[in-house]
Amino acid sequence: MRRAAFYVVLAVAAATFLYPFLWMAATTFKSPAEVGGLSLLADQPTLDNYRLMWVRAPFGRALLNSMLVATSVTLSVLVFGSAAAYSLARLRFPGRSILNAVTVAVLLVPAQLTLIPMYTLIVQLGWVDSYAALIVPFAFNATAILILRQFFLQVPRSLIDSARLDGMGELRILFTVFWPLSKAPLAMVGIITFMGAWNEVLWPLLVVRDEQLMTLPQLLTVFSLGGGAGPRQLATKLAAAMVLVVPVVVAYTFLQRYFIESMASTGIKG
Amino acid sequence: MHAEARSGLFLTAPYAVFLLLFSLFPIGFSVVLVVLKWDLVTAPSFAGLDNVQHLVVDARFWQALVNTFLFLAIHLPLQIIVALTLAWALDRPLLLRAFWRAAFFLPVVISGAVVTILWSALYATDVGLINGLLARVDLGPVPWLTDPAIAMPAIAIMATWKNVGFYVVIYLAGLQSVPRSCHEAIELEGATAWQSFRHVTLPLLKPQTLLVVTLSTINGFQLFIEPYVLTGGGPLRRTLSVVLYMYRNAFSYQKMGYAATLGLALALIIAAVLVVQRRIIGSAEES
Amino acid sequence: MANVSFEHVRKDFGTTTVVQDFDLQVTDGELVVLVGGSGCGKSTILRMLAGLESVTSGTVRIGEREVTHLPPRERDVAMVFQDYALYPHLTGRQNISLGLRLRKVPKAEIDRRVRWAADILELDPFLDRKPKHMSGGQRQRIAMGRAMVREPAVFLFDEPLSNLDAHLRGQMRHEIARMQRRVGTTALYVTHDQMEAMTLGDRLVVLDGGRVQQMGRPLDVYGAPANKFVAGFIGTPPMNFLDGRLERERDGLVFVCDTLRIALLGERRPDPTVHSGEAVTLGIRPEDLALADAAGMGTIPGDLVLAEVLGATTHLYVEVGGRRLIAAVPSGPSLAPGTAVTLSIDHSRLHFFAADGSSLRQDGIDP
């Protein structure tokens, strides 16, 4: 009996986290009169909210922008980041210890400190309203490099030595020897980086004003600030939010283990 | 030069350049900006300590700080208690354990913008879900985002909802690292479940609690999208956050120097708060 | 101080029965050792007494009280765990006193008891350190101190020495025995190490597969094992077993095993009228074999495979008719592998086991 009560309480807790999403989805199909109701099914379902949303702002374009930016950043962090991590871990070169120290030190600096100076830099470079502004400042990630470096340190030296004897260059070694062994940390870094880039909103709000270049969360934010607070506006805003939420929820449903393990393990180790 | 050293330099050169441009330069330049007055269009002018002086008497800045501390005062205890409770609930053989865990964690992966918009709908005074539920039990409606005293607490609750799943996973890992025999030992010694929790589990969760507090504090000082979308910083500037104010100074008022000053001040305040927190939690370990 | 009783206690995990119909009466102040291989149910029995496992059926009593379904905290038992279960964030002293503090025992009394335990166990050098700064043996003693200050009705020990190195194990064995005798509390001790069992217990309970194989004083279990399992488990090196059959010869009895024929000369032997022709297993302890100068009646010829010199004793591995026997003999002049040797038997200390493993009744002596 106690077990049953326990599960009921758990279910209520889970509902607290899940139900709002369901309600949000339901509301997007409701006409203004029904908005605000608690039922999950509309009496007179309508696609008006989606039509309005799609027409008012370039959400399709924003989706593409987000994909482009997030993918580019993730690829850059994985490829260039692992090259840097590999060098820091296994190669000896002048300046290595300084680079290591700076990498760690950089993590201690809060983002707020560098936000404004970076913004002025972007303006001075003439990168306002460009993909460069959205991608380049995130091309490398100190946390990712540290995670990968830590992992690379554990690869047995003998593997590198035999690869070198086979005549492989460093890049070859990195991609043909280290990468296959590093699927777990690479996946973890990939997921965290992608999610971070996908959800980033403050930076785009600073450096991008052109609607055609806005990322999806950014466009969503801008869109939701306009309009009033009436039921139709509410439903339309939620419809816009659905564009951002649905792909993530779908991915999460199938990959939740990877999401949770990747995102939380940095916390558990740190 | 040695081939290995050549490769090393070659492979890390892009990273080094990046660090110079996007990490070291900004850090250094932020200090420079403090003594400048600059609107990004005309040339910057030297302003001495004007920005700092302005900061000291800027009511908006101090209000933003007060708002942040209010946020933390509600968010931190709420976060710890809810995360710990849920983690404790999950720390046992359970049906569908992966499902419960995934449910709590879902808001963590959703973008902050979406969560904020969702909660603007939940908190809406007339058509919001929460007031709708309260109406069912003859309560409310509560002016969640329009009452100056309630708005920031409302944001604190939303922030807890968004992030608690992350800390549930952290605490769960911590709970599972407490040896079972310790629980059995203290049970044999006559402890009730609560005593066992208080004297064995809780002290051993000190590292996790410190993590929760640290990350949540940093998160609290970084509040931006929530007040930006939900309340614009109002009502009566009671939800203004330092980062939002900083953004406005840069983007809307075009006062780069002052914005950078805000950023530097914020960074220092965060550092100070974290040090104090570490002292408090660290020393509690001794008792 | 109390006596402990188990009556028809049974434990099932799902469809598997882990402990079958267990009965045991422990008298006040006794140290009873439950010994057996892994999975024999000994830890489960201990934990059922502690209340850390539920009892499927049967009754458990401590003193006058029936405790079968009481929660652990109400049973007045203290336990020393295999991994010591010390609280990592507390010092040794705090570890020992936590239970008393929880029960709101007055501070003066707590200090008195901690001092008492510290004196008996010599805890002072590390009493104020945290477990991570203690060695295994020190942690062990703190765990014992924690159990002692509770002044419980029963001490429980769950393989407390398994995690210590061999040298320390011997030392701690004495500590535990000394402490228990001094304090006089009834104790149940679980181990898989038969040497610990033999040296510590007032009484042994040998378990296998959830069933009691034999119960008794150490020397009785050693000298008159009830079955093959007990005979092979207790004693080191383990007893030698030869499978064969008994044959009557004139008015004597001969044990036949392939080409080996051993005349049974002692008075302790199975009744020839009953068991002639039967398949039996002959058991001889290594210490009951000796090197003979010459072959004769009742000796065994063989070839030396290996001689392990342990010091004063040497273990001889002798191949006899295709089987290997171990003899524990006093060390003497060294012998090369391959030497032909003759083993003499102490015929008053032979053991016989039927096909089902049970000990055969021998003339005038009950197994």
Higher local confidence (pLDDT), C295 or C100? C100
Q: Which residues of B touch C103 (CB under 8 A)?
A: 189-190
B96-123 pLDDT tens trace: 888 999 999 999 989 888 999 999 888 9
Same domain, B210 and B80: yes
Q: Which two tokens stand for residue B155?
A: 């944001």
SS3 C10: strand
Q: Which two tokens stand for residue B220?
A: 């609290």
- If phi over 0 gives left and psi between -120 and 50 gives alpha, with beta otherwise, what is residue C283? beta
Give the chains touching B; criterion: ≥3 Cβ pairs < 8 Å.
A, C
Distance CA C149, CA C92 (A): 13
Question: Is C200:C176 a contact under the CB 8 Å cutoff?
Answer: yes
Question: Is C227:C358 a contact under the CB 8 Å cutoff?
Answer: yes
Q: Which residues of C touch B191 (CB under 8 A)?
A: 73, 99, 102
DSSP per-residue letters across B16-29? HHHHIIIIIHHHHH
B52 occurs within a structural domain: no
DSSP per-residue letters across C264-290? E-SS--B-HHHHTT-EEEEEE-GGGEE
CA distances from C108 to A80, C114, C127, C129, C143 (A): 66, 10, 18, 22, 21
On the 0-12 / 13-18 / 19+ scale of CB atoms within 10 A, C312 is: exposed
Same domain, B98 and B233: yes
Residue B287 has pLDDT above 70, yes or no: no
- Give pLDDT, residue B286: 47
* Alpha helix ranges (H) inside chain B: 3-19, 25-34, 50-57, 59-90, 97-109, 112-123, 129-136, 148-176, 180-188, 193-196, 202-204, 206-221, 225-230, 242-247, 256-284
Q: Cα(first)–Cα(last) distance of chain B, in Å?
A: 58
| Cβ contact B184–C88 (<8 Å) | no
Same domain, B229 and B93: yes
Residue C229 has pLDDT above 60, yes or no: yes
Same domain, B3 and B92: no
Same domain, B66 and B16: no
Mean pLDDT of A118-126: 91
Is B203 part of the contact surface with chain C (CB cutoff 8 Å)?
yes
Question: Is B95:A8 a contact under the CB 8 Å cutoff?
Answer: no
Same domain, B11 and B96: no
Q: Which of A40-49, A131-140, C25-34 has the lowest mean pLDDT?
A: A40-49
Q: How confident is the model at residue B39 (pLDDT cuts 50, 70, 90)?
A: confident
- Give pLDDT, residue A229: 66
Q: Which two tokens stand for residue B208?
A: 């996790």
* Whole-number percent of chain C with pLDDT over 70: 94
Relative to beta strand C57-62, strand C4-13 is antiparallel
- If you average pLDDT over each of A205-209, B278-282, C276-280, which comes out highest? A205-209
Residue among B179, B182, B188 whose CB faces C77 most closely = B188
Residue B154 has pLDDT above 80, yes or no: yes
Same domain, B148 and B6: no
Residue among B182, B191, B203 whose CB faces C85 most closely = B182
State the angle between helix axes of A96-108 and A59-90 in degrees (0 to 180), rounded to the nearest 10.
140
> How many interchain CB pairs under 8 A, B with C?
66
Burial state string for C128-154 with b = 16 or more CB within 10 A and e = fewer than 16: eebbeebeebbbbbbbbbbbbbbebbb
Q: How many residues does chain A have?
A: 270
Q: Which residues of B touch C51 (CB under 8 A)?
A: 188
Same domain, B65 and B21: no
Closest-approach residue (CA) in chain C for B183: C85
- Give pLDDT, residue B284: 59
Residue C238 has pLDDT above 70, yes or no: yes
User: Which residues, listed in sequence order, are joined to residue C157 by a DSSP beta bridge?
Assistant: C80, C189
CA distance B277 to chain A (A): 16
The residue type of C193 is: D
What is the DSSP-derived secondary structure letter of residue B255?
-
B36 occurs within a structural domain: no
Domains and CATH numbers, chain C: 4-233 (3.40.50.300), 240-353 (2.40.50.140)
* Whole-number percent of chain A with pLDDT over 90: 31
B11 occurs within a structural domain: yes
- Give pLDDT, residue B282: 73
Average pLDDT of every residue of chain C: 88
B111 occurs within a structural domain: yes
Q: Which residues of A touch B100 (CB under 8 A)?
A: 10, 13-14
Distance CA B157, CA B174 (A): 24
Domain count, chain B: 2
B219-258 pLDDT tens trace: 999 999 999 988 888 788 899 999 999 999 988 888 888 9
Distance CA A173, CA A175 (A): 6
Q: Cα(first)–Cα(last) distance of chain A, in Å?
A: 40
Q: How confident is the model at residue C45 (pLDDT cuts 50, 70, 90)?
A: very high
H/E stretch holding C94 reads helix C92-102
SS3 content of chain C, % helix, strand, coil (to 5): 30, 35, 35
Question: Is A95:A183 a contact under the CB 8 Å cutoff?
Answer: no
Mean pLDDT of C92-105: 92
C69-79 pLDDT tens trace: 999 989 999 99
A149-186 pLDDT tens trace: 989 998 888 888 888 888 888 888 888 888 888 888 89
B264 occurs within a structural domain: yes
Q: Which two tokens stand for residue A73?
A: 């950043």
B50 occurs within a structural domain: no
CATH of the domain at B105: 1.10.3720.10
Mean pLDDT of A137-146: 92
| Cβ contact C99–B204 (<8 Å) | no
Burial state string for A75-101 with b = 16 or more CB within 10 A and e = fewer than 16: bbbbebbbbbbbbbbbbebeebeebee
- Give pLDDT, residue C336: 84
Q: Which two tokens stand for residue B222?
A: 């970084």
Question: Is B115:B157 a contact under the CB 8 Å cutoff?
Answer: no
CA distance B94 to chain A (A): 9
Same domain, B229 and B275: yes
Determine phi and psi for A46, rounding to 5 degrees.
-145, 150
The set of residues, in sequence order, having a beta carbon less than 8 Å from that of A24 and lying 6+ positions away, is A238, A241, A242, A245, B118, B121
Is B41 part of the contact surface with chain A (CB cutoff 8 Å)?
no
Same domain, B19 and B105: no
B18 occurs within a structural domain: yes
Chains A and B: 3 or more CB pairs within 8 Å of each other: yes
B120 occurs within a structural domain: yes
- Give pLDDT, residue C366: 44
Distance CA C367, CA C360 (A): 7
Residue C216 has pLDDT above 90, yes or no: yes
Same domain, B6 and B80: no
Is B199 part of the contact surface with chain C (CB cutoff 8 Å)?
yes
Q: Which residues of B touch C83 (CB under 8 A)?
A: 179, 181
CA distance A257 to chain B (A): 8
- Give pLDDT, residue B66: 94
B162-183 pLDDT tens trace: 999 999 999 999 998 888 899 9
User: Predicted ipTM?
Assistant: 0.85
Range of the domain at B271: 58-284
Domains and CATH numbers, chain A: 64-214 (1.10.3720.10)
Q: How many residues does chain B have?
A: 287
Distance CA B22, CA A74 (A): 17
- Give pLDDT, residue A270: 45
Same domain, B81 and B156: yes
| Cβ contact B185–C83 (<8 Å) | no
| Cβ contact B190–C99 (<8 Å) | yes
- Give pLDDT, residue B153: 93
Q: Which two tokens stand for residue C273?
A: 């009228």
H/E stretch holding A232 reads helix A231-269
CA distance B199 to chain A (A): 22
Residue C365 has pLDDT above 60, yes or no: no
* Closest residue by Cα to residue B169 from A267, A185, A12, A144: A267
Q: Which two tokens stand for residue B133?
A: 């539920």
* Closest residue by Cα to residue A37 from B129, B141, B120: B129
- Give pLDDT, residue C300: 84
What is the DSSP-derived secondary structure letter of residue B44?
P
C168-184 pLDDT tens trace: 888 888 888 888 888 88
On the 0-12 / 13-18 / 19+ scale of CB atoms within 10 A, C191 is: buried
